């Protein structure tokens, strides 16, 4: 009776490469199909025009985020609404100016003071950025003499807020997380960017695999309250 030879490392490597290659081909087919379906929808072109307009606005206002002091008023626009401190976390290659057009609406909703958290999205990784966010949250809550605050993250900033709440004890100081256009399962446009943080935003990245589980995508154990909006 003869036994079959055990598979060598070369065979195992080839098998693994085949699985990865098949996954990439399947993902490519899905993306092509989605692109074809989107091309026949008028709403797709309206959305594209909106994105081009907003990109132009953000590019124009970007220099304002480089100037001190922070361009956010600390008074609530509606005094009848209870104030809640909020921290705004921008996305890749952006700064606090990303929230300039939104700040009045946030203040009118009773959020304030508003604090912008700036970070070098190209030279840092998301683990590092989340750790840097922690003392900002603590100081914001202390300065406002509040128990908790609100985190609002745009794009990559939503991943930073999510990691802080899930893994760094942020749920004790944050009662609400709002993410806008955040790639919780990754985005293929991240392949066009550079830097460690944008690599972590690619579908299937080690970072996203570690942060994705059977639980709610943001809140640990059902707390804090989460509101997710894609803009």
Between 228 and 39, name the one with better pLDDT.
39
Do residues 149 and 157 make contact, with C-beta atoms less than 8 angstroms apart? no
pTM (whole model) above 0.75: no
pLDDT of residue 120: 87
pLDDT at site 64: 67
- Average pLDDT, integer, range 143-172: 93
The number of CA neighbours under 13 Å toward the Cβ of 33 is: 6
**How many angstroms separate the CA atoms of 174 and 149, rounded?**
5
- Residue 155's region, left for phi above 0, alpha for psi from -120 to 50, else beta, is left
- Selected residue with higher pLDDT from 65 and 15: 65
Q: Diameter of the chain by CA atoms?
A: 87
Angle between helices 156-167 and 126-143 (to 10 degrees): 70
Segments of the chain assigned E as strands:
84-89, 111-117, 149-154, 174-180, 225-229
Question: Residues 7-25: what's their mean pLDDT?
Answer: 55
pLDDT at residue number 59: 64
Mean pLDDT of 191-206: 91
First to last CA, the chain: 65
Average pLDDT over residues 153-170: 94
Place of tokens 């996203």: 208
Domains and CATH numbers, the chain: 9-60 (no CATH), 63-229 (3.40.50.1820)
Q: Is pLDDT of 130 > 70? A: yes
Tell me: the pLDDT tens digits for 59-113?
Answer: 666 666 666 655 455 555 555 556 789 999 998 877 777 787 788 889 888 898 8
Measured in whole angstroms, the distance separating CA 90 from the mean position of its chain's CA atoms is 8
């Amino acid at each position: 009776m003869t036994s079959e030879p055990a598979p060598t490392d070369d065979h195992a490597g080839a098998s693994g490469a085949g699985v990865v290659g098949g996954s990439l081909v399947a993902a490519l087919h899905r993306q092509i199909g989605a692109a074809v379906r989107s091309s026949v929808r008028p709403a797709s072109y309206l959305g594209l025009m909106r994105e081009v307009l907003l990109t132009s606005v953000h590019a124009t206002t970007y220099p304002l985020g480089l100037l001190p002091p922070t361009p956010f008023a600390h008074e609530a626009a509606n005094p009848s609404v209870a104030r809640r401190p909020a921290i705004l976390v921008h996305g890749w290659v952006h700064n606090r100016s990303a929230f300039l057009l939104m700040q009045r609406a946030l203040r009118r909703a009773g959020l304030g003071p508003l604090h912008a958290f700036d970070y070098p999205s190209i030279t840092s990784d998301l683990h590092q950025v989340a750790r840097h966010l922690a003392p900002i949250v603590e100081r914001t809550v202390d300065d406002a003499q509040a128990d908790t605050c609100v985190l609002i993250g745009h794009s990559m900033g939503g991943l930073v807020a999510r990691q802080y709440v899930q893994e760094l004890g942020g749920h004790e100081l944050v009662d609400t997380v709002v993410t806008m256009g955040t790639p919780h399962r990754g985005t293929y446009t991240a392949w066009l960017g550079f830097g460690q943080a944008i690599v972590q935003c690619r579908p299937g990245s080690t970072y996203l695999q570690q942060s994705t589980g059977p639980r709610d995508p943001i809140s640990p154990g059902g707390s804090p309250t989460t509101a997710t909006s894609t803009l």
